[in-house]
Amino acid sequence: MSSNVTAVSYGLKLSLPDIQRLRSLLTAAGLSVDAETRTGDGRFEVYAADCTMATGNSAPANSGSTTSGSANSDSAPAGSLTAASLDGPRRALAASGIDGVDTALVPAALRNAPRKFLIMDVDSTLIQQEVIELLAAYAGKREEVTAVTEAAMRGELDFAQSLHARVAVLAGLPSDVVEKVRAEVKLTDGAAELVAAFQAAGHAVAVVSGGFNQILRPIAEDLGLHYWIANELEIADGALTGKVIGDVVDRAAKEKYLREWAAAEGIPMEHTIAVGDGANDLDMLGAAGIGVAFNAKPAVRAAADAAVNLPYLDAVRYIAGV
């Protein structure tokens, strides 16, 4: 049987004992290692092992799988990998891994797909900041808004309700604060490189945000993104009104846009990669072929198929095989 899954491990440093330990962990998780590669660029190192895993297995009983609703989990053909069959090995690797090293198990069908679709969250993923907090600072409400944002990202508050409450504190701010905040926003390290690598390989890239179009628009245009959307701040008479226009981009909307845009590109859901950090991203992470938690809240890391706990967003390209 040819390799049907690739184990991709990444960390700031990967020593020879680390590699030997990873081989043992893969074997213990039921994977047969077929071929290995190592790479790195001075920032972090990557070990990839093409593996063979017996197919047709289901997740262990009472495993609490959180990925059963993902794109590659339901009614898959006999003999193919499913989210359920990968759940057990993923949990085993996460439970017995190496400090500072994360391992993603990625179906070979996704890594070898001729076209892939990458969709990312924006605040604290594509960019380093939470824009609503930068805006709130101009209203003298940053600490208050930060506390609400963090609770929402942990899944403790309804996102739409929390967004309306946070935006309300912006009422009366002059509209030029948008330009000031835009100048404060910085891309996450590796973000531009990740987008460029996907685009150069002919893949589609999108971002979907619970933040604001006024901030996202120039970023998306500069990166040449295929698709992007966020909430629209209402501005009247040269000032923010404290409201957003139209429906809120929440967790359900993020999944909806993932499905719509992937379909528009003719890319099956099992060939999609979603990246995010908060509870607002959980639906799209679960729906994608592989969902990646980027420096995420604990509940999101536990639910995602893979986690990147490095400050470099382009680690995702190694997971996707781009």
3-state helix/strand/coil string of 33-89: EEEEEEEECCCCEEEEEEEEECCCCCCCCCCCCCCCCCCCCCCCCCCCCCHHHHHHH
Q: Is the pLDDT of residue 29 over 70?
A: yes
Q: Is 123 among the residues known to form the active site?
A: yes
Q: Is the pLDDT of residue 74 over 70?
A: no
Residue 285, CA distances (Å) to 67, 69, 119, 236 in order: 9, 10, 9, 36
What does the alpha-carbon distance between residue 20 and residue 192 come to, in Å, rounded to a whole number?
A: 33
Q: How high is the pLDDT of residue 86?
A: 87
What does the alpha-carbon distance between residue 71 and residue 255 come to, in Å, rounded to a whole number?
A: 11
Kind of pairing between the strands at 227-236 and 117-120: unpaired
Q: Taking a C-beta distance cutoff of 8 angstroms, is the pair 258, 276 a contact?
A: no
Q: Is the pLDDT of residue 50 over 60?
A: yes
Catalytic residue among 87, 121, 250, 305: 121
Kind of pairing between the strands at 227-236 and 204-212: parallel
Catalytic residue among 18, 87, 102, 123: 123
pLDDT, one tens digit per residue, over 117-173 is 999 999 999 999 999 999 999 999 988 888 888 888 787 888 888 888 899 989 999
Q: Taking a C-beta distance cutoff of 8 angstroms, is the pair 26, 49 a contact?
A: yes
On average, the pLDDT of the chain sits at 89
More confident site: 32 or 152 = 32
Percent of the chain at pLDDT > 70 equals 90
Structure tokens at 250: 């929440």
Q: Taking a C-beta distance cutoff of 8 angstroms, is the pair 220, 228 a contact?
A: yes
Q: Is the pLDDT of residue 82 over 90?
A: no
Q: pTM to 2 decimals?
A: 0.89
Q: Is 247 among the residues known to form the active site?
A: no
pLDDT, one tens digit per residue, over 273-286 is 999 999 999 999 99
pLDDT, one tens digit per residue, over 196-241 is 999 999 999 999 999 999 999 999 999 999 899 999 999 999 999 9
